């Protein structure tokens, strides 16, 4: 009897697990982002939700130059990316002007994305190119693009 119960519950979980996977496949894009958010939450722990300080005028000037040099080709000058069909990209860049897109990740998580990129995506990490001060400056400039 105990065996039967175990078998039944194993079956139950197997079937449930499968149907969950099927549902996941229907929205593959957001699954990737959900997983990334979970990874960043695990990595940053209590730091995940910590806000980044307000920008100084100097940081915004520096951040704007960096953004225009390193980011705007994909994300667009205003944060609104150009039509992907006009580019060689296979994944559409995130619209950094839309709060509902940007705020899916916390500020610290977005900093991490700028540092380390998104695996398997054209969004490459800038860790090797930007020091921490410049990373924060470009992040602060992207905040001004949110409409």
Q: Specify whether the CB–CB gap between 97 and 145 falls below 8 A.
A: yes
Nearest CB to ligand HEC, comparing residues 55 and 123 = 123
Q: Is 105 in the site for ligand HEC (CB under 6 A)?
A: yes
Please check whether residue 74 is in contact with residue 14, taking contact to mean a CB–CB distance below 8 angstroms: no
Question: Any contact of residue 138 with ligand HEC (CB under 6 A)?
Answer: yes
64 touches ligand HEC (CB under 6 A): no
**Would you count residue 75 as binding ligand HEC (CB under 6 A)?**
yes
Q: 113 φ, ψ to 5°?
A: -65, -40
Q: How many residues at the interface with ligand HEC, by CB under 6 A? A: 22
- Rounded distance, CA 88 to CA 107, Å? 29
Would you give the DSSP letter of residue 120?
Answer: T
Q: Which is nearer to ligand HEC, 10 or 124 (CB)?
A: 124
């Amino acid at each position: 009897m105990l065996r039967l119960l175990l078998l039944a519950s194993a079956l139950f979980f197997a079937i449930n697990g499968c149907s969950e996977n099927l549902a996941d496949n229907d929205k593959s894009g957001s699954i990737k982002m959900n997983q990334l958010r979970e990874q960043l939450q695990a990595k940053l722990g209590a730091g995940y939700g910590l806000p980044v300080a307000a920008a100084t005028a100097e940081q915004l000037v520096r951040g704007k130059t960096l953004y225009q040099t390193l980011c705007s080709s994909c994300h667009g000058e205003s944060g609104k990316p150009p039509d992907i069909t006009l580019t060689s990209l296979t994944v559409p860049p995130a619209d950094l002007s839309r709060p509902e897109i940007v705020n899916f990740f916390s500020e610290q998580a977005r900093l991490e994305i700028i540092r380390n990129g998104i695996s398997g995506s054209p969004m490459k990490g800038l860790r090797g190119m930007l020091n921490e001060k410049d990373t924060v400056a470009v992040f602060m400039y992207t905040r001004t693009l949110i409409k």
